[in-house]
């Protein structure tokens, strides 16, 4: 979802007092804490996903471990691919942790 589409959707949802956007990692649906995360970095893509502030911070922190030069549009193709894997891996780590947690909770119920 690009930024313009997101802004239109959130304005409409706020007007109608509805929420359909939620953090793709933890499920938080409070629009006041939802931010749009650039999946492959701001410089590399307009593709965004909704993350709560906490998940956004963790995912971005992992991306920021890569030097700005190696995550820029001018980076070597292999560095760009590496950054894409790091970006998606950071998202999957958070999603994986949530899936494990939910699975263990379900196993507690007989």
Which pair of structure tokens corresponds to residue 82?
């590496």
Please give the full DSSP string across 18-78, using - where no structure is assigned. ------TTT----GGGEEEEETT-TTT---EEEEEHHHHHHHHHHHTTS-GGGGSTTS-HH
- Span 41-53, pLDDT tens digits: 776 677 888 899 9
Q: What is the pLDDT of residue 3?
A: 66
Check residue 17 and report its DSSP letter: T
Q: What is the pLDDT of residue 2?
A: 63
Q: What is the mean pLDDT of residues 27-55?
A: 85
- Span 65-100, pLDDT tens digits: 999 999 888 999 999 999 999 999 999 998 998 889
The verdict on pTM exceeding 0.85 is no
Answer whether 58's CB lies under 8 Å from 28's CB.
no
């Amino acid at each position: 979802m690009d930024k313009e589409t997101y802004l239109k959707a959130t304005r409409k949802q706020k007007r109608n007092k509805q929420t359909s956007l939620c953090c793709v990692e933890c499920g938080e649906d409070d629009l006041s804490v939802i931010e749009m995360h650039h999946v492959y970095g701001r410089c590399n893509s307009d593709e965004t996903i909704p993350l709560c502030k906490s998940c956004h911070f963790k995912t971005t922190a992992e991306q920021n471990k890569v030097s700005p030069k190696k995550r820029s549009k001018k980076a070597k193709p292999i560095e760009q691919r590496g950054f894409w894997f790091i970006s998606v891996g950071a998202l999957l780590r958070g999603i994986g942790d949530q899936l494990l947690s939910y699975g263990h909770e379900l196993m507690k119920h007989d």
